[in-house]
Copies of this chain bind each other. A is one copy, B any other.
């Protein structure tokens, strides 16, 4: 313990810890889910069956991954008759990441005294 944050910084860090949505980050840390994300980015909105056809995993597995990604705000889903179409939730996805990045940036400048100097 050599350097320390002022009491006012504590609020920012609490806010940061809040922004570390572990469920969100865990969702993005699974390679299979990133592959699904990539597929949708390349091919656009698609239903479960179409996505599953292009993945080695079972249809039920893909279904569960899509469901999870929709829960954490990475994807949107729209039901059309028997099909459920998933698409990238551009705003929610980007907002979450930019929020996290911005918070960490402000934490660094406030809580790492040497940071500004390091940033040549």
Binding site for B on A (CB under 8 A): 1-5, 9-10, 13, 16-17, 20, 22-26, 28-31, 34-35, 38, 41-46, 50, 88, 90-91, 93-94, 97-98, 100-101, 104-105, 107-108, 111-112, 115, 118-119
Contact = CB atoms under 8 A, between A and B. Distances in A.
Interface of A is mostly: helix
B90 A43 contact: no
Specify how many copies of this chain sit in the oligomer: 2
19 contacts: A1-B44, A1-B46, A1-B50, A4-B43, A5-B42, A5-B43, A9-B41, A16-B41, A17-B34, A17-B38, A22-B28, A22-B29, A25-B28, A26-B26, A88-B108, A88-B111, A90-B115, A94-B101, A94-B108
